[in-house]
Structure 1
């Protein structure tokens, strides 16, 4: 009976989310605000993967900007090639300015849409799997893994800045089309938003299935007692690699959607600072829950836009203070506040019942 009720609640939750994302939001928001919401949904996709890897697996992933950037740059390369082909030019506009006469060899495969989509899925997951096996097989974890992942994000940003063939510090920008659809058309921009919203719902469904499966139980067991899991005959490294690879895939897909929605991608959006920003949203929302990281990422991104418009220099300090308060006083994030209140209410009720029984016992004893 509980399983049936849980399934109905899950389907009802997805139905409500679909109505909000596909019905209410497009009807109430302007085109500009809908584009902003599409960006927030991309952040939420990244956050869902971080919640799986960090919240359930205990892996502090400070380098998700690497995979986010890989997906965004690969999509940007395809879009720039498509724009050049429409204008019947041999290379994208920024290469003409830089004096590059022909496409670099590693750019040429991205002229194919099928190759680009496959690369967005395969390349980041392959890198994450190889890196994960190399790190987790050597039992690197905790702060050491966090520092390593953060160093990779910094290295990628520095590498991109020095590469003129990918735009250098300016990155890739000025996208005009998306698989043949003009990005200047509001209808096509709304289509991009719908794709991001649908992708988020699919990612949430996948993460939920992983969390509630036998694998999800093993992932939590590895987080809480890795040596015990190893003693039972399971390989914790393999379990961690699966979660880390899934998080990398989600980040890459989010980056690929983010590039055409926002219209550009630069090294500043894939380095250390964005990676930490992803983490802050997850921590504030509640990393151990399903919806906490998603709502936290959307909420923090919205707050950044709203407050930075009024207090441009103060948002960074407010974000840091919020992160400190949540980590220091609400380790489970805002999603854990409700659970804490329910637990205290339940404990208070038990204590009140116990006091009543004790008083009744004393009365009976005195009467006797």
Structure 2
């Protein structure tokens, strides 16, 4: 049991960090923020899935992917296709030339639902495809690249190019994908209205719960033997290869896991926000997601989540307060982090907060509180 908790939580310090993050996501934000702001936090949390996938892939594996947005977008499109089909029943689309198909298909003179849309009539198949489609694409890319020992900056550029190609393909196939507008007007999931206030709260908590679950999965991977090999590959790839391990298979595996985690975030984004467009598939969102991981600390799962929240909070605040200057302010924030805090927020904590032994003090305070509570209970329980 102790070994399992070490692998899942990362020891006492990791457990405390995860508990604080959970308190923030599940208690403080819902109580402190109104529904609109909480919805923004929910959207930011979906980006955090990609950030923690980059901690696995880039921070610990040394594989920089500048195309994680395509996996995020594919997961989002899979969920959007299911929701769009539910919103396009024959009664709701009776004014169309061809009732029963999405409106953008009717506008583009399609008269039947394309074959690859058929599986998305089922929620079960949709959930499976959210996981399978991005993972399969990652496997194809990884197999083609890593088996030929393509890595480093070349791999980063190739993933960036693939993300651009995919976004152009989505925009170009307007009749099948909704084109530049994306898939919009998503209303219900199994006749459950996802636009109501109660639904937004439920989706937010589901989103946060899935993020914590993915963090536990990532922590388990990193603390396993595979995680140690991943670090060894990052630092001394040739030595690992000469030790008899097939490095390419390990890279393919972690690339697929990172794609799957990113896709879960994309699917939750569609449910939280109510649409999906090609603007979340291309180069710009992919680079932004790398920045989230870099600001939080590319070696820290919890740091990556905080980095995502900080950057997006800053982006929202600067754009609202200084609409003409917010891009410069965000650029200054990124430059400052790279110059002065290369290890991100996690590095700041390790360099400064750990000097004061915050974890130890927190544990002592908890012990004192428990002892005091026990003493009070004992006094209350005494008979006069």
- Same fold by TM-score greater than 0.5: yes
Note closer, same or farther for the CA distance 1:344–1:191 as it changes in structure 2 (3 Å cut). closer
Matches within 5 A, 1:95-134: 95-134=105-144
Q: Among 44, 63, 67, which residue is 2:67 paired with?
A: 63
Tell me what 2:92 maps to.
87
Q: Which runs of no fewer than 5 residues in structure 2 stay unpaired?
A: 94-98, 358-384
Note closer, same or farther for the CA distance 1:18–1:291 as it changes in structure 2 (3 Å cut). closer
Tell me what 2:374 maps to.
none
1:270 corresponds to 2:274: no
Between stretches 54-63 and 86-95, larger displacement belongs to: 86-95
1:345 CA drift (Å): 9.9
Matches within 5 A, 1:223-302: 223-302=234-313
Note closer, same or farther for the CA distance 1:12–1:330 as it changes in structure 2 (3 Å cut). closer
1:181 corresponds to 2:192: yes
**TM (normalized to structure 2)?**
0.84
1:152 CA drift (Å): 0.8
Mapped partners of 2:303, 2:157: distance in 1: 25
- Tell me, what secondary structure is at the counterpart of 2:116? coil
- Tell me, what secondary structure is at the counterpart of 2:301? coil
Mapped partners of 1:48, 1:69: distance in 2: 16
1:190-229, Cα deviation, whole Å (9 max, x unpaired) = 1111111010000110111111111111101000010011
Tell me what 1:163 maps to.
173
Q: Among 189, 201, 204, which residue is 1:193 paired with?
A: 204
**TM (normalized to structure 1)?**
0.88
Between stretches 193-202 and 291-300, larger displacement belongs to: 291-300
Q: Is the 8 A contact 1:90 1:101 kept in 2?
A: no
1:10 CA drift (Å): 4.1
Q: Is the 8 A contact 1:67 1:251 kept in 2?
A: yes
Q: CA RMSD in A?
A: 2.2
Tell me what 1:213 maps to.
224
Note closer, same or farther for the CA distance 1:292–1:230 as it changes in structure 2 (3 Å cut). same
1:257 CA drift (Å): 0.7
Tell me what 1:366 maps to.
none
Note closer, same or farther for the CA distance 1:330–1:14 as it changes in structure 2 (3 Å cut). closer
1:140 CA drift (Å): 0.8
